[in-house]
């Protein structure tokens, strides 16, 4: 099959790009269509594919400020000519699912979430804006929501990456979806030896990740060390807020990340996540997860593999940390739980769905 993969943008290697890597392995006769591609920002595997970009690629200051071109994204994603492909497969968390397939060609959407800016996290991103800018945003978002719902009808099959996203797809689009969790490299993320030296977070420094909750909790838990891996616009703010027992790491490779997973007492996740691939990677290394008990964590953290705390607050996390005892958790059992998310399982499920829709 000749497959057109539609991806929102290629500007870094995050969860969505790891899913795209696995998809192009399943369908080697494929090309990638994306709003924007910053060369060198993604893996060699993705860079080796034929990549088509939209007019967003030619706009000024695109590398740093591409999100400011959001009002133009629908027109850009609709501009691709997808004639000659046997299947259109969108990997979407913003507008990719709005691509227009050639008549008679099936369109499958692997949905990481309906557009965050327009729906669930609108107030997180824009709630503090006032005056003319807020009025402008409200008008733009009204039109974007209308387009988002209308363009959902171009999809023949929705695949959600978690049960939370499945619920969102029904709430906003009134479409049913099948759940296929993202693929985790369980063959790579495994430990020869397991130690328990510190607590670990892997997260971008953006508002909805709620890293501030962990900083506040560890300011009270001074006898424990926390390492936070990641970058983002709130990094400078978090560096100032952090107590002395919190260490920040920015640029690390996969081998270094695996080493941290294997040495961690527990992995901490404070966000309400669509899925949360890093939680599954940590469990693949036999590391228990302490996570806010909403969203993707409910799919990942099962009994005896971690702790789900009920409120997204420093107090709730602090209480979970105080009740945590590493000896209560068996690394081998935790790893076994993570194998549900193996690449092999992902491939089998995706291929079965494609056969069914064709």
Q: Residue 91 sits in a domain of what CATH number?
A: 3.40.50.2000
Instruction: Say if residue 172 is in the same domain as residue 282.
Output: no
- Would you state the pLDDT for residue 120? 79
Alpha carbon dihedral 144, 149, 155, 157, in 10-degree steps, equals 130
Query: In terms of domains, do 89 and 153 share one?
Result: yes
Largest alpha-carbon pair distance within the chain?
A: 63
Residues 105 and 202 in one domain: no
The reply to whether 61 and 102 lie within a common domain is yes
CA distance 27 to 317: 42
At 356 the pLDDT is 85
Domain, as residue range, for 229: 198-340
Asked whether residue 190 is domain-assigned, the answer is no
| Total domains, the chain | 2
Instruction: Specify the 3-state DSSP secondary structure of 279.
Output: helix
Same domain? For 11 and 151 the reply is yes
Instruction: State the pLDDT at residue 131.
Output: 78
pTM over 0.85: yes
Task: Give me 86's structure tokens.
Answer: 């046997």
The angle at the Cα of 248, spanning 331 to 276, to the nearest 5 degrees, equals 50
Same domain, 225 and 334: yes
Cβ contacts of 60 within 8 Å, gap of 6 or more: none
Q: Give me the sheet containing 30-34, strands edge to edge.
A: 51-53, 30-34, 3-7, 87-92, 107-111, 157-160, 177-179
175-186 burial, b at 16+ Cβ within 10 Å, e below that, comes to: bebeebbbbbbb
pLDDT value of position 64: 83
Is 192 a member of any domain?
no
Task: Tell whether 191 is covered by a domain.
Answer: no
Establish if 41 belongs to a structural domain: yes
* Rounded Cα distance, 326 and 331, in Å: 10
Based on the domain organization, do 348 and 304 belong to the same domain?
no
Residue 193 lies in a domain: no
Residues contacting 288, CB < 8 A, separation 6+:
266, 267, 305, 306, 307, 324, 326, 329, 334
For 186-321, where are the E strands, in sequence order? 198-202, 226-229, 246-249, 264-269, 289-292, 306-309
Same domain flag for 165 and 254 = no
Q: Residue 188 domain-assigned?
A: no
Model pLDDT, residue 135: 80
Whether residue 189 lies inside any domain: the answer is no
For residues 116 and 72, give the distance between their C-alpha atoms in angstroms, rounded to a whole number.
16
Verify that 151 and 249 share a domain, yes or no.
no
Do 22 and 134 belong to one domain? yes
Instruction: Please list the pLDDT of the chain residue by residue as tens digits (358 residues).
Output: 899 999 999 998 888 999 999 999 999 999 999 999 999 999 999 999 999 999 999 999 888 888 889 999 999 999 999 999 999 999 999 999 999 999 999 999 999 999 887 787 677 767 676 777 678 788 888 999 999 999 999 999 999 999 999 999 999 999 999 999 999 999 999 999 999 999 999 999 988 899 999 999 999 999 999 999 999 889 999 999 999 999 999 989 999 999 999 999 999 999 999 999 999 999 999 999 999 999 999 999 999 999 999 999 999 999 999 999 999 999 999 999 999 999 999 999 999 999 888 7
* Cβ(181)–Cβ(159) below 8 Å: no
Q: Are residues 249 and 164 in the same domain?
A: no
- Residue 351 half-sphere exposure, CB side, CA atoms within 13 Å? 12
CB atoms within 10 A of CB 55: 13
CA angle 70, 294, 336 (to 5 degrees): 110
14, 82: one domain:
yes
- Output the CA–CA distances (angstroms, integers) from residue 40 to 44, 71, 115, 259, in the order listed: 8, 26, 26, 25
Return the pLDDT at 127. Answer: 66
């Amino acid at each position: 099959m000749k497959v057109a993969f539609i991806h929102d943008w290629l500007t870094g290697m995050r969860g969505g790009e790891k899913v795209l890597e696995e998809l192009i392995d399943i369908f080697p006769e494929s090309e990638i269509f994306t709003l924007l591609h910053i060369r060198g920002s993604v893996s060699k595997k993705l860079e080796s594919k034929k990549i088509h970009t939209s007019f967003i690629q030619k706009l000024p200051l695109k590398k740093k400020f591409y999100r400011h071109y959001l009002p133009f994204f629908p027109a850009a994603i609709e501009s691709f000519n997808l004639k000659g492909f046997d299947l259109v497969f969108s990997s979407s968390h913003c507008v990719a699912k709005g691509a227009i397939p050639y008549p008679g060609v099936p369109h499958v959407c692997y949905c990481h979430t309906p557009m965050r800016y327009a729906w669930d996290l609108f107030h997180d991103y824009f709630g503090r804006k006032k005056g003319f800018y807020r009025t402008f945003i409200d008008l733009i978002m009204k039109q974007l929501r209308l387009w988002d719902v209308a363009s959902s009808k171009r999809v023949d099959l929705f695949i959600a990456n978690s049960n939370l996203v499945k619920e969102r797809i029904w709430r906003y689009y009134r479409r049913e979806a099948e759940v296929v969790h993202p693929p985790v490299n369980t063959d790579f993320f495994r430990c020869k030896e397991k130690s328990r030296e510190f607590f670990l977070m892997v997260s971008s420094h953006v508002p909805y990740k709620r890293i501030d909750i962990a900083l506040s909790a560890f300011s009270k838990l001074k006898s424990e060390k926390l390492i936070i891996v990641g970058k983002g616009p709130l990094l400078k703010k978090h560096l100032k807020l952090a107590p002395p027992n919190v260490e920040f790491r920015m640029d690390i490779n996969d081998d270094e990340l695996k080493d941290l997973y294997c040495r961690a007492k527990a992995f901490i996740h404070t966000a309400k996540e669509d899925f949360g691939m890093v939680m599954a990677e940590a469990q693949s290394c036999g590391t228990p997860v302490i996570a806010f008990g909403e969203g993707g964590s409910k799919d990942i953290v099962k009994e005896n593999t971690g702790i789900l705390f009920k409120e997204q607050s420093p107090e709730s996390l602090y209480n979970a940390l105080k009740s945590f005892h590493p000896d209560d958790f068996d690394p081998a059992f935790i790893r076994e739980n993570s194998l549900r998310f193996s690449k092999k399982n992902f491939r089998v499920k995706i291929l079965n769905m494609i056969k069914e829709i064709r």
